[in-house]
Structure 1
Amino acid sequence: MAWLFDPIQNGGEVIIDFGCYGPNLSTWFMDGKKPFSVTAVTQQFQPEFNPKVEDEATIIRTYDNSQTVIQALWNWPMGCKDMEIYGLKGAAYSDNSQDHRIRIAKGYDQYHEKVEKLPQLPSSYNSGFLSMLGK
């Protein structure tokens, strides 16, 4: 595991480690379509824990009609597996693998919210967002 924190052996640190999940999900949501641009900014906020590598990355994938913003971090104060998806009429929030909210807009300041607590899935299928989407 030491290779993960070695800039020569890994070459990308947090962007390689946690920076893969968001692009994988983005590609899935976009039915395999590739973005026409990808921009990333990396930073080091906790050199005392990660002295040789960056520990934060923000990745922006731009498509014709949408944009995906991915935050890959090693410096969260707690485990964080959340996702937000915004559409033309509402938004879906996955707060963790089981707690989900869907908000349908009613004008600019109002919305109807449906809250779901999904059952824990077996480990090979434990992405709650896939369950919410019926996949």
Structure 2
Amino acid sequence: MKPRLGFLGTGWIGRHRMEAMLATGAVEAGAICDPEPACADEAAALAPGAVRVDTLEQMLEQDVDGVVIATPSALHAEQAIAALKAGKAVFCQKPLGRSAVEAQAVIDAARDADRLLGVDLSYRHTQAMRQIADLVRSGELGDVFAIDLTFHNAYGPDKPWFYDPDQSGGGCVVDLGVHLVDLALWVLDFPQTGAVDARLTCEGRPLNAGQVEDYATAQFRAGDAEVRLACSWRLNAGRDAVIEAAFYGTRGGAALRNVGGSFYDFTAERFQGTATTSLAEPPDEWGARSAAAWAEQCAASLRFDAAAQNYVRSAEVLDRIYGR
């Protein structure tokens, strides 16, 4: 029997992940829930046999083995914990929680329920980033001592809740920086991290109460590497986006970079002195690869995967960036 999944939140991201999961053939859609009828209709077109429900509680009463969560950030931890306590596996959009405390509570619930937990940290699954991770882990770059991370988005989110710190947990750092921090820690196999020196601003000025940052810089240590991070919304960057993750070691360097301002096309290059070698080029259909991988993992086993404990590591760094 294929695992049956409930899809909670079927906006663009939720439907995109749903389509990728179903395309694997490893899982089936058992239930759909979205407060917007148009979103639910589009999801139902992908899975005509799925039951449409109005609440998470109703979804948990259905014959589903897992729940895929694509809702506003403030709801992630509470909804994930409820699903896990009901004995369902969970795949959640980032961030898993608005703080490390929330993230750890979800992980604890997954461990207690012995159920699989996944988070949609999609940039890990780009071909470019996998090539770089292989270089670092094999020791071909020597000892990595510096990492430069950048994610500037010339646009800002279009939903009001993103700008409410109580609902979002923060601004561009929790929206974009979480991917950067995760990449650095994931490539280095989640080393210990140190204190963070950070500066957060909104429209070029220090944050006032009730505001979220639209520009942030931070510096911290991850193992023996010095990590520098910069991210923003609505920066006058001259292109749609500037995305980069560069790793510098004692025997060489490597970097992921977006192409022509694209949010989707990436290159990976290896550096040795003044020489550059291409590692990966577009096209690469990576956007929903993390969702598909989780679906296949579900089909293999619904039991808790201890690697989920690493999700809190990035959340701890974000907490330090925010000074909490």
TM-score normalised by the chain length of structure 2 = 0.33
Residue of structure 1 in register with 2:225 after alignment: 66
Residue of structure 2 in register with 1:32 after alignment: 190
Give the counterpart of 1:94 among 256, 259, 264: 256
Residue of structure 2 in register with 1:132 after alignment: none
Q: CA 1:79–1:38 in 2, change beyond 3 Å: closer, same or farther?
A: same
- Provide Cα deviations, 1:75-105, integer angstroms capped at 9, x if missing partner: 3332122221111122212221432321102
List runs of 5+ in structure 1 lacking aligned partners.
106-110, 127-135
Moved over 3 A (4+): none
1:38 alignment partner AA: V
Partner-residue secondary structure (3-state), 1:80: strand
1:88 alignment partner AA: T
Q: CA 1:14–1:119 in 2, change beyond 3 Å: closer, same or farther?
A: closer
Residue of structure 2 in register with 1:19 after alignment: 177
- Cα separation, 2, equivalents of 1:91 and 1:117: 15
1:3–1:9 contact (8 Å) kept in structure 2: yes
1:39–1:59 contact (8 Å) kept in structure 2: yes
1:102 alignment partner AA: R
Q: CA 1:118–1:34 in 2, change beyond 3 Å: closer, same or farther?
A: same
RMSD, aligned CA: 2.5
- Provide Cα deviations, 1:28-82, integer angstroms capped at 9, x if missing partner: 02202230222321012368xxx94320111222134111111121133321222
**Larger relative contact order, structure 1 or 2 (CA cutoff 8 Å, min sep 6):** 2
Residue of structure 2 in register with 1:131 after alignment: none
1:104 alignment partner AA: Q
Residue of structure 2 in register with 1:57 after alignment: 216
List runs of 5+ in structure 2 lacking aligned partners.
1-158, 259-264, 291-324
More strand by share: 1
2:180–2:245 contact (8 Å) kept in structure 1: no
Q: CA 1:16–1:71 in 2, change beyond 3 Å: closer, same or farther?
A: same
More helix by share: 2
The reply on whether 1:120 has 2:283 as its aligned counterpart is yes
1:7–1:53 contact (8 Å) kept in structure 2: yes
1:24 Cα shift? Answer: 0.6
1:73 alignment partner AA: S
- Cα separation, 1, equivalents of 2:183 and 2:256: 13
Give the counterpart of 1:5 among 157, 163, 172: 163
TM-score normalised by the chain length of structure 1 = 0.71
1:98 alignment partner AA: F
Aligned residues: 118
- Cα separation, 1, equivalents of 2:222 and 2:245: 18
Q: CA 1:119–1:63 in 2, change beyond 3 Å: closer, same or farther?
A: closer
1:7 Cα shift? Answer: 3.1
